[in-house]
Amino acid sequence: MKSNHALDYFILGEEMQLVEIELDPQETAVAEAGSFMYMDEGIVMETIFGDGSEKESSGGILNKLWGAGKRLLTGESLFMTAYTHQGIGKARVAFASPYPGKIIPIDLSAYNGKIICQKDSFLCAAKGVAIGIEFQRKLGTGLFGGEGFIMQKLEGDGMAFCHAGGHILKRTLKAGEVLRVDTGCVVAYSQEIDYDIQFVGGIKNTLFGGEGVFFATLKGPGDIWLQTLPISRLASRILSYSRGPRKEEGSILGGIGNLLDGDGR
């Protein structure tokens, strides 16, 4: 029997998605602050300290403080918001992605109750899902893996929703199968996956390749989710665009275009 609330959901949109969760009376969804979009009449919103999971609630105030502190390390806030349907019939509450990309629905009961994901990827979940931290056990992974020693883990037997940038690719790796990935493109993986870091190798690759110095290596068996547009890559492009001249096709036409739109220097 599931200990987490069971949720029906609908994912809507393309580039900027939202997830609409359908609640029965007394069902609750929890979400990260700032992700709320709209809700039907009868749903009551309450700010809670922690994630509302049984793991935190059963341990008293010290356990709640420890759980909240761990979430700070993964980019989440001390407080979360619980949305409980206190009316009759069914009601819906919706949460939106913070940047262009996709929402990933994950049934934790299908993955032995645990998924490991990148920091700050959690969007919302059924009440009872615990949001914590996962320490990387290998020194190389912690130092050079992009996410550091600390990643996020979602535990429970209900639905959880993560968001990521661009298009999402899900791959199922067989036992012993290895996939090498840009460290920023790893969104989440099942707990059976062996996650490590590999040096790209070669002086030219290291100095001029433009793809970073390290790969993430993911070894099966298990499922992985990859994103085409890490938010760090998007932010870097926007920052470089704002600081220097744009790279138009054709230097003369590009310069004229910059003058016409007020970007001449």
Predicted pLDDT at 262: 47
Q: Into how many domains does the chain fold?
A: 1
Query: 160 — phi, psi (to 5°)?
Result: -130, 150
125 belongs to a structural domain = yes
- pLDDT at 33 > cutoff 90: no
184 belongs to a structural domain = yes
**Mean pLDDT across the chain:** 79
123 belongs to a structural domain = yes
261 belongs to a structural domain = no
Q: Do the beta carbons of residue 193 and residue 224 sit within 8 Å?
A: yes
What is the pLDDT confidence band of residue 45, given thresholds at 50, 70 and 90?
very high
264 belongs to a structural domain = no
Distance of alpha carbon 183 from alpha carbon 187, whole angstroms: 9
Residue scoring higher pLDDT (231 or 91):
91
236 belongs to a structural domain = yes
- pLDDT at 81 > cutoff 60: yes
Predicted pLDDT at 95: 97
3-class DSSP state of 240: helix
Percent of the chain with pLDDT over 70: 68
Name the nearest CA neighbour of 53 among 41, 36, 40, 70.
70
Q: Position of tokens 């980019």?
A: 75
257 belongs to a structural domain = no
Residue scoring higher pLDDT (25 or 2):
25
Domain span at residue 240 reads 8-245
What is the pLDDT confidence band of residue 15, given thresholds at 50, 70 and 90?
confident
Highest mean pLDDT range out of 59-68, 88-97, 252-261? 88-97
Q: Do the beta carbons of residue 96 and residue 37 sit within 8 Å?
A: yes
Predicted pLDDT at 198: 78
Predicted pLDDT at 253: 45
253 belongs to a structural domain = no
Q: In this structure, what token pair is assigned to residue 133?
A: 């931290």
CATH at residue 64 = 3.60.160.10
> Which residues on neighbouring strands pair with residue 10, listed in sequence order?
20
What is the pLDDT confidence band of residue 196, given thresholds at 50, 70 and 90?
confident
Each residue of 206-262: pLDDT tens digit? 444 444 567 889 999 999 999 998 877 777 767 777 765 555 444 444 554 454 444
3-class DSSP state of 217: strand
DSSP-assigned states of every residue in 66-126: HHHHHHHHTT--SEEEEEEE-SSS-EEEEEE-SSSEEEEEEEGGGGTTEEEE-TT-EEEEE
- pLDDT at 156 > cutoff 60: yes
